[in-house]
């Protein structure tokens, strides 16, 4: 298994996996966001390939300077998204991707990592606990059309 920073040559495979992960987002929106990430100094993405070179997962991370709920430091690393293809799950790949993210955050002098999961996404919540996250503040978001 090999984990490397995502480059332009990984772009198409990254987008394909992202569409499986963020099913409510259009391909156009994902591509626009990913192009921005590739040029950002505060964001990083890593891709994971198996021993045969097949892409099996990715992680998108960022450094946030705005307030991250429950954090005590600034800036704060943030897990924006992590995805492992179904056939490659339960093999520790997401944990290895998180470890790579932590190395990058430490190189940037970041002391905390934030993340989020929807209240009904039990799988994501279990993953967060398994890789060492502690539950922080719980928020309910509201919208009002005017």
Reported pTM: 0.92
DSSP string of 45-113?
EEEEE-TTS-EEEEEEEEEE-S--TT-SSSSEEEEEEEEE-GGG-SSSHHHHHHHHHHHHHHHTT---E
Q: Do 80 and 97 meet the contact criterion of CB atoms below 8 Å apart?
A: no
- Please give the Cα distance from 30 to 36 (Å, whole number): 10
- Two tokens at 52? 């045969």
Digit-coded pLDDT (tens) for 98-114: 999 999 999 999 999 99
Q: Do 14 and 47 meet the contact criterion of CB atoms below 8 Å apart?
A: yes
Digit-coded pLDDT (tens) for 21-75: 999 999 999 999 999 999 999 999 999 999 999 999 999 999 999 988 889 999 9
């Amino acid at each position: 298994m090999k984990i490397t920073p995502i480059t332009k040559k990984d772009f198409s495979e990254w987008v394909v996996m992202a569409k499986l992960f963020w099913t409510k987002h259009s391909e156009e929106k994902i591509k626009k966001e990913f192009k921005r990430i590739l040029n950002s100094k505060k964001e990083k993405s890593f891709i994971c390939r198996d021993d045969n070179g097949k892409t099996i997962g990715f992680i998108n991370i960022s450094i946030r300077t705005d307030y991250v709920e429950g954090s005590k430091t600034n800036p704060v690393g943030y897990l924006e998204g992590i995805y492992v293809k179904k056939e490659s799950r339960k093999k520790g790949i997401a944990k290895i991707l998180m470890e790579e993210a932590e190395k990058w955050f430490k190189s940037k002098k970041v002391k905390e990592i934030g993340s989020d999961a929807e209240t009904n996404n039990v799988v994501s919540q279990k993953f967060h606990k398994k890789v060492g996250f502690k539950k922080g503040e719980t928020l309910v978001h509201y919208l009002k059309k005017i």
